[in-house]
Structure 1
Amino acid sequence: MSLPTTTRAWSIREIRSDSFDGIVLQGNVPLPKLGERDVLVKIEAVSLNYRDLAIPRGLYPFVINLPVIPGSDCAGIVLATGSKVTRVSKGDRVCTLFNEHHLANPITPEAAASGLGGAVDGTLRDYAVFGDHCLVKAPSSLSAIEASTLTCAPLTAWNALYGLASNVLKAGDWVLAQGTGGVSLAAVQFAAAAGATVVATTSSDDKADELKKLGASHVINYNETPNWGEVARSLTPGGVGFDHILEIGGAASIAQSLKAIRMEGVITIIGFLTSSEKEPAVMDILNHVCIVRGIFVGSRQQFEEMNRAINSTKIRPVVDRNIFSFEDLKKAYQYQWERKHFGKVVIKIGN
């Protein structure tokens, strides 16, 4: 069977602030010849992140190079490898690394500027050639659709909980995860599996039961409880506060996270979803004697550690009930843009 030399691919051609019409489907896009350290992958599934929606609407604050094939997350099957590739083999199911040069911590400027689907061509295509350095073997316990969700959100959650050597997650810790986005859902699962007590926040009582099924011991509706930071803190033993807080809301919610954190606890700031006219001052961090840490997904080394943990704990990523076809990409974007999803939105590619 001959190997493909071209592929269909979605391409962000221009920024449109009011729609996703700047994304177009192209056919017969040439594939580069396989170099000695390259891997040809048949992409099976791609999952979406808020970043994928932000880029074509001009809302992404980091490096992009247009035109670009969107998508950072995927699972696929190795069809062929270059002569010096040893990390993966033909027939392996693999996942992509979000920043293709972020192999181990600390992250470097070069690695931060190597994001798939923004700075370099990404995953929303039938076939792709990747360097073997930016691929990891998918957990054997997961399907292609489940594995396609791991590249960004779960890896970011893993980095938040395990990426700071002096404050890694351990049994008995208290963890606060905000909202029901992909990072928070994965954090609830990872923390519960490690023996931590998890408190989750949500804007909807309908989602509270789902969060508890994933391992949350307590759920707070932040619309009904605006001062959720103090309420969450009161749940911890002696009211001392949380060991880990995943701060997803950004400037609009950091004040509540500071109220909830314990002394020497870690607040990990993730994403860029909201802004606030009154952002907390740096001195507020001193007043609470805590660590505030910003992260940008995670490294290949962390990805491999996470996958081993997924295999051993049998954790299954949360996938939205609606799976979209490759041709319906814009419908998938709009579905997530309108926040109709719970769990990761996945595009299935091919048969």
Structure 2
Amino acid sequence: MHAWHLKPGDGIAGLGRIDATPRAVGPTDVVVKIHSAALNYRDLMFARGDYLGIGKEALIPVADGAGEVVETGRDVTRFKPGDRVINTYFPRWSDGPPTPHKVSGSPGAQFDGVLAERFVADETALVAIPPHLDYDEAATLSCAGITAWNALFVGGGLKPGATVVLLGTGGVSIIALQLAQATGLRTIVTSSSDAKLERARALGADATINYRTTPEWQHEVLRLTGGAGADLVVEVGGRDTLPRSIAATKLGGIVSIIGGLSSFGGPVLDLLPLIGGVKQLHGFMVGSRAMLDDVVRLVDAKRIKPVVDRVFGFDEAPQAYAHLQSGQHFGKVVIRVAQ
């Protein structure tokens, strides 16, 4: 099969085409013909060599794929050839709370991913695609959708009427906006681009803030919430935005930390606003297949169409990575594998 290969630390320039052989099919395995693969920020981190728990060997990158079942192991009961499926992020984490074993590996990081013509997964690591989605849209749901669901409803426990602040307009923030709007949450979206904020409002954002013209955006969040602050902030920025995210949350509010676009390191955090505000920092690393099941049910029930910023051809994988790295995207960047 045709595939892309990448060694951690070699950067985007290290992406290379190879002929690969899928792993052997076990009794409960499913062979998926990959139609589309969606990129995540962690794919850039893998290319740089600074993603969590990766080795030094080259492998097939990218975690999130959508495709058609073409073969099943003898004991498979959940799927049959012809079914349309997406894979979950952590194949060992079906449900329940995380454990070291459940989060011990994901495609395209610790073992071969989906940027290839075929992908083999255990049947428990796959979910059926809602009928109204095409493969490009469906491929966006795994990492970003699970992360957004976990932050908003599992860790966040948000109920209709709660206010959530979404930083930026990347993959997680935009699907979080769509899930939040579908469940009656009030949404505030930040971006440095007025054009992107206009698109966010078109998706239903209740309020928007340009953090370039309003650098102390936490004050605007407080104004928009009558001085109370937001119930939850989905924090993707890291070092440069975390203090403002804490300041923007209400007494007892939650900052859901899911990324670090500016940096994961930095100076020691000032703990006084955290303690004085009885605020909570929650760290998230995607989530379980059961959470993906929940995402898919809501997407199906509400006919949500995930936002695909741009679709690249299989031969254009390096350009797709570069587009994601540029930060110009709104929503998800997809590579169409099947020609």
TM-score (norm 2): 0.95
CA distance in 1, matches of 2:271, 2:56: 33
| 1:26 is the counterpart of 2:18 | yes
Aligned residue in 1 for 2:179 = 190
Aligned residue in 2 for 1:66 = 57
Deviations along 1:46-105, one digit per CA (max 9) or x if unpaired, are 011111122122232443452211000010100111111112222111111111111113
Identity of aligned residues (%): 37
CA distance in 1, matches of 2:291, 2:45: 26
| 1:261 is the counterpart of 2:249 | yes
**What CA RMSD, in Å, does the superposition of the two structures yield over aligned residues?**
1.5
CA distance in 2, matches of 1:65, 1:87: 35
Aligned residue in 2 for 1:118 = 109
1:305 positional shift: 0.7
Q: Secondary structure at the match of 1:280?
A: coil
1:64 and 1:105, CA in 2 relative to 1: closer, same or farther beyond 3 A?
Answer: farther
CA distance in 2, matches of 1:118, 1:255: 30
CA distance in 2, matches of 1:297, 1:270: 8
| 1:342 is the counterpart of 2:336 | no
Alignment check: 8 A CA contact 1:241 1:260 kept: yes
Unaligned runs of 5+ in 1: 1-6
Aligned residue in 2 for 1:127 = 118
Identify which of 218, 236, 245 aligns with 1:248: 236
Aligned residue in 2 for 1:239 = 227
Aligned residue in 2 for 1:137 = 128
CA distance in 2, matches of 1:51, 1:43: 20
Alignment check: 8 A CA contact 1:65 1:120 kept: no
Alignment of 1:129-208 (within 5 A): 129-164=120-155, 167-208=156-197
CA distance in 2, matches of 1:223, 1:203: 5
Equivalent AA in structure 2 for residue 184 of structure 1: S
Identify which of 301, 313, 317 aligns with 1:312: 301
Aligned residue in 2 for 1:303 = 292
Aligned residue in 2 for 1:280 = 269
Equivalent AA in structure 2 for residue 260 of structure 1: A
1:227 positional shift: 1.1
Alignment check: 8 A CA contact 1:63 1:113 kept: no
Alignment check: 8 A CA contact 1:65 1:119 kept: no
| 1:105 is the counterpart of 2:96 | yes
Deviations along 1:202-255, one digit per CA (max 9) or x if unpaired, are 01111111010111111101111111112111111x321111210111121111
1:14 positional shift: 5.2
Deviations along 1:125-170, one digit per CA (max 9) or x if unpaired, are 0012111121111222211110011111121111101112xx5221
Alignment check: 8 A CA contact 1:68 1:117 kept: yes
- Range 7-16 or range 68-77, more displaced: 7-16
Alignment check: 8 A CA contact 2:86 2:142 kept: yes
- Range 226-235 or range 268-277, more displaced: 268-277
Equivalent AA in structure 2 for residue 85 of structure 1: V
1:283 positional shift: 4.3
CA distance in 2, matches of 1:65, 1:122: 15
1:340 and 1:77, CA in 2 relative to 1: closer, same or farther beyond 3 A?
Answer: same
Alignment check: 8 A CA contact 1:97 1:136 kept: yes
Unaligned runs of 5+ in 2: none
CA distance in 2, matches of 1:114, 1:65: 15
CA distance in 2, matches of 1:242, 1:64: 39
Equivalent AA in structure 2 for residue 162 of structure 1: F
Alignment check: 8 A CA contact 2:247 2:273 kept: no
The size of the alignment, in residue pairs, is: 338
Identify which of 310, 326, 330 aligns with 2:314: 326
Equivalent AA in structure 1 for residue 81 of structure 2: K
1:279 and 1:219, CA in 2 relative to 1: closer, same or farther beyond 3 A?
Answer: farther
Deviations along 1:244-297, one digit per CA (max 9) or x if unpaired, are 210111121111111111122221001122236434234432121122100001
CA distance in 2, matches of 1:74, 1:279: 38
CA distance in 2, matches of 1:159, 1:179: 18
Aligned residue in 2 for 1:4 = none
| 1:218 is the counterpart of 2:212 | no
